[in-house]
Amino acid sequence: MTDTRDIVETIYREHSRQVLATLIRLLRDFELAEEALHDAFAAAMSQWPRDGIPHNPRAWLISAGRFRAIDNLRRRARFDASLAEIAYQLEIEHTTTTTPIDDAGVADDSLRLIFTCCHPALPLDGQVAMTLREVCGLTTEEVARAFLISPSTLAQRIVRAKAKIRDAGIPYQLPEPSALTERLDGVLRVIYLVFNEGYSASFGETLTRADLSGEAIRLGRLLHELSPEPEVAGLLALMLLQESRRDARTTPEGELILLHEQDRTLWDRALIDEGISLVERALSSRRFGPYALQAAIAAVHAEAPSAEATDWEQIIGLYDVLMRITPSPVVALNRAVAIAMRDGPTAGLSLIDALMARGELRDYHLAHAARADLCRRRGDVEQARQGYWQALSLVQQGPERRFLERRLAELENG
């Protein structure tokens, strides 16, 4: 019994969002699908210990969830006649469909759902919030903390987005090829936000969330198969190259290790080779954008045999191009750090101070940490201490907080 319960819980953690995506397509209703998902797992907890684990657990869960949704609609139809027709139509579709539920179809449903969540009729904040909640399974509280808003405000955004999908009749399907391009930017943006939350969690006691970065890469691969555009390849390359460093980014105890201190023998060479191949193809197309450029920067780091051998000249050149295409304070900050690595901390500090003076990075803890680090390298202990304290007041993640505390302790100890 205990073993079966553990298996069900593992399947829930790893596959529940994919099961939900298929149920949303089949039932065409978010709330009904979410209720069906939980009913299906409750049934699994009850039946699998007695009957054994099915050959295809995901297909079993989808089928069980659909059956229970239809049964629930029938019961509610006694009080709401409009539900009887919905239940009848769902039952007809269920009995007449000849397409088996297989793993490939379930994977496609995840991509269908993310295109639905990223429909241009929805506001951007609603697109991102709903994707993180429905596609990736973050709790409302987790998404709200990532957005720095209250859970109730976040919940209202998601409710409005779902209502818009329902009232506008937005279909749960992949767009036609002619409409794919206009929808692509939103989908790429959301997939990258999901990856970033998995690669460097915005809060919590762990640096990374492998479930989120893994899901983003899986979606990126599906999207690349559907549309091998240069920027799709660029995003996939960027995620693979960053993911290749996962095992080297923390100590066995989960403490943060900076890039220049990482053991590069722990980097995943297979992911690096795949990422470099993708970014080379994207750049050779001459139709690349910001994702391919960021991937190219990650590739320069990946190809350096040591931190000291990093080609900072090439990285700065890539940041220069990136700033022309998509200027942003964060890109400018990263460029300033790269210049500091090439020309020394004073050169980087002057650029960061100019950025901070504009106020755009005032609440960005990494900007304060970067400035503090350059002050430390220059020997300006008091300015470094102030910067680390400012970063510490803003950080929400355990490993980053402990790293900053260690830096402060080092300064106190001379």
Residue 27 scores a pLDDT above 90: no
- Does 8 reside within a domain? yes
- Residue 97 has what pLDDT? 54
Domain-located, residue 249: no
Residue 85 covered by a domain: yes
C-beta of residue 266 within 8 angstroms of C-beta of residue 230: no
Say if CB 160 and CB 204 are below 8 A apart: no
CATH code of residue 76: 1.10.1740
For residue 287, the model assigns a pLDDT of 87
Output DSSP code: residue 314. H
Q: Which range of residues forms the domain containing residue 34?
A: 1-101
Residue 176 lies in a domain: no
Looking at the domain assignment, is residue 37 inside a domain?
A: yes
CA angle 152, 156, 157 (to 5 degrees): 120
**pLDDT > 70 fraction of the chain, expressed in percent and rounded:** 91
Note the pTM of the prediction, 2 decimals. Answer: 0.82
List, for residues 277-286, the tens digit of each pLDDT value: 999 999 999 8
Compute CA distances 180 → 12, 124, 186, 349, 373, whole Å.
Answer: 31, 17, 11, 43, 44
For residue 289, being part of any structural domain is answered with no
Question: Does residue 196 lie within any of the structural domains?
Answer: no
Q: Note whether 91 and 63 are within 8 A (CB).
A: no
The tens digit of pLDDT for each residue in 100-113 reads 544 444 557 888 88
Number of domains in the chain: 1
State the amino acid at position 374 in one-letter form: L
Torsion of CA 6, 7, 8, 13, to 10 degrees: 90
CA distance 202 to 255: 15
On whether residue 5 sits in a domain, the answer given is: yes
Banded pLDDT at 79 (limits 50, 70, 90): low
